[in-house]
Chain A
Amino acid sequence: MNPPITATHVYRYLLCEHTATLAFHGDPARSVAPHEGLRLLLELGNRHEASWVAEHCADWATPSYPERDWAAGLAATLDLMRSGVSGVLQGVLIDVDRVGKPDLLRREEGPSDLGDHHYIAGDVKSSAEPHTEQVMQVLFYARLLELLQGRLPSYGYLIMADGREERFDVTSLLPIFDEVLREIRQIRDSGRQTKLHLSHQCGACGWRVFCRDLAQEKKDLSLIPGVGRGTADLLRQTGIATVRDLATLSLEQGRKLAEAEVLGIEVLGPLRRRARAVERGEPTILSAPEVPPPPEGIYVVASSDPRRNGGAFLYAILEIDRSGKERRETLYAKTPAEERELWHRFLERITASKKGNRRERFSGIPIFHSGGLAPATVEAIQSAHGGDPIAFERVHDEGVDLSRMLLRSIAVPTPSASLRAYTSFSGGVGADGEGIGAGQPGGSGFEARYGGPFGHYYPWHERFTATGDEAWRRKILAAAELEIEALRSLRLRLHEAAKRAERKPATTTRGRRTRNGTR
Chain B
Amino acid sequence: MREPIVRFLERGRRAERRDLRDLHLKPVEERVADGSAIAGLRRIEQRGDAAVYRIPGTATKLRPGDACWLSSGAEITSGRPVEIEEIDLGAGVLVLRPDRFADASGPPPEGGVLDRRNLDLTDHLVRGLEPIFDDERGRLAGADWVRRAVEGEAELGPRNDRLARAKEAVEADALTESQREAFSAAVAARELALVQGPPGTGKTRVAAAVVLEALRHGEKVLVSALTHRAINNVLAAVATLGEKSRGHRVFKIGRPHQGAELRALGIESRTRLQKGAVLPGEGMVVGATTFGAVKLRRDYSPFDLVLLDEAGQVPIPHAMSAFAGGLRGVVVGDHRQLGPVVAGGGTGDPMERSIFEHLAERYRGRIHLLRESWRMNAGICRFSSRFFYEDAVVPHKSAADRRLQLDEGGQYRAILDPEKASVWVAVDHLARRNHSREEARVVAALVRELVSHHGVPPAEIAVVSPFRAHAGAVSHELARAIPEAAGALIEGLVVDTAERIQGQEREVVLYTFGSSDRDYLSRNAEFLFDPGRLNVALTRARTKRIIIGSPEVARARPRKLEALRRAALVQALWSEHIPIEQATPECDTIRVRWEE
Contacts and interface: CB of A to CB of B under 8 A. Distances in A.
Interface of A: 14, 129-133, 135, 166, 168, 172-173, 175-176, 179-180, 228-231, 233-234, 237, 261, 263, 290, 375-376, 379-380, 383, 393, 396-397, 506, 508-509, 514-519
A175 B555 CA distance: 10
A263 B430 CA distance: 10
Given A175-B568, A230-B431, A514-B78, 7 more contacts: A131-B559, A131-B561, A132-B560, A172-B569, A230-B517, A261-B438, A516-B81
B569 to A, nearest CB: 8
Contact of B564 (A176, A179, A376, A516): A176
Contacts of A261: 437-438
Contacts of B77: 509, 514, 518-519
Contacts of B560: 129-132
Contact of A376 (B7, B347, B437, B563): B347
B470 interface: no
B174 interface: no
Contacts of B558: 132
Given A135-B564, A516-B118, A175 B572 contact: yes
Contacts of B78: 514
Contact of B102 (A131, A133, A375, A515): A515
Given A132-B560, A135-B561, A397 B14 contact: yes
A379 B564 contact: no
Lowest 4 CB-CB distances: which A-B pairs, in order? Answer: A230-B431, A230-B517, A234-B431, A130-B561
Nearest to A263: B431
Contacts of B75: 508
Interface string B329-373: 000000000000000101100000000000000000000000000
Given A396-B14, A509-B25, A514-B77, A383 B7 contact: yes
B568 A173 contact: yes
Contacts of B14: 375, 379, 393, 396-397
B322 interface: no
Contacts of A230: 430-431, 516-520
A518 B520 contact: no
Contact of A173 (B117, B564, B575): B564
B567 A176 contact: yes
A173 B565 contact: yes
A83 B518 CA distance: 45
A176 B346 CA distance: 25
Nearest to B19: A375
A306 to B, nearest CB: 14
Contact of A168 (B102, B438, B519, B561): B561
B217 interface: no
A180 B564 CA distance: 13
Contact of B118 (A132, A166, A376, A518): A518
A192 to B, nearest CB: 15
16 contacts: A131-B560, A132-B563, A166-B561, A172-B568, A175-B568, A228-B520, A230-B520, A261-B438, A375-B18, A376-B346, A379-B344, A380-B347, A393-B14, A514-B77, A518-B17, A519-B21
A132 B564 contact: yes
B571 A176 contact: yes
B555 A396 contact: no
A179 to B, nearest CB: 7
B544 interface: no
B130 interface: no
B17 A517 contact: yes
A176 B430 CA distance: 20
A396 B344 CA distance: 12
B526 to A, nearest CB: 13
Contacts of A376: 346-347
A506 B21 CA distance: 12
Interface string B18-39: 1011001100000000000000
Interface in B1-21: 7, 11, 14-15, 17-18, 20-21
Contacts of B520: 228, 230
Nearest to A399: B18
B120 interface: yes
A175 B567 CA distance: 11
B557 interface: yes
Contacts of B516: 230
Nearest to A179: B555
A130 to B, nearest CB: 4
Given A229-B519, A234-B431, A14 B557 contact: yes
A514 B102 CA distance: 12
A172 B568 CA distance: 7
Interface string B544-579: 000000000001011111011101110110010000
Given A228-B520, A230-B430, A518-B77, A129 B347 contact: no
Interface string B403-432: 000000000000000000000000000110
Given A175-B571, A230-B520, A518-B117, A397 B18 contact: yes
Contacts of B519: 228-230
B32 to A, nearest CB: 13
A231 B432 CA distance: 8
Given A230-B431, A396-B14, A516 B120 contact: yes
Nearest to B523: A228
Contact of B565 (A172, A263, A393, A516): A172
B557 A176 contact: yes
Given A228-B519, A234-B430, A129 B17 contact: no
Contacts of B344: 375, 379
A239 to B, nearest CB: 15
Given A130-B561, A131-B561, A508-B75, A375 B15 contact: yes
A229 B563 CA distance: 20
Nearest to A197: B519
A168 to B, nearest CB: 6
A457 to B, nearest CB: 22
B467 to A, nearest CB: 14
A311 to B, nearest CB: 15
Nearest to A169: B565
B171 to A, nearest CB: 41
A233 B569 CA distance: 27
Among B20, B347, B575, find the residue whose CB has the most chain A CB atoms closer than 10 A.
B347
Contacts of B518: 229-230
Contacts of B81: 516
A135 to B, nearest CB: 6
Nearest to A174: B568
Contacts of A290: 25
Contacts of A168: 561, 565
Interface in B502-536: 516-520
Contacts of A131: 559-561
A466 to B, nearest CB: 28
Contacts of B431: 228, 230-231, 233-234, 263
Contacts of B565: 168, 172-173
A172 B567 CA distance: 10
Contacts of B557: 14, 132, 176, 180
Contacts of A515: 102
Nearest to B67: A516
Nearest to B77: A514
Nearest to B117: A518
A135 B518 CA distance: 19
Nearest to A515: B102
Contacts of B7: 383
Contacts of A509: 21, 24-25, 77
Among B11, B117, B557, find the residue whose CB has the most chain A CB atoms closer than 10 A.
B557
A133 B520 CA distance: 17
B517 A379 contact: no
Contacts of B21: 397, 509, 518-519
Contact of B11 (A179, A233, A234, A379): A379
A132 B561 contact: yes
B468 to A, nearest CB: 16
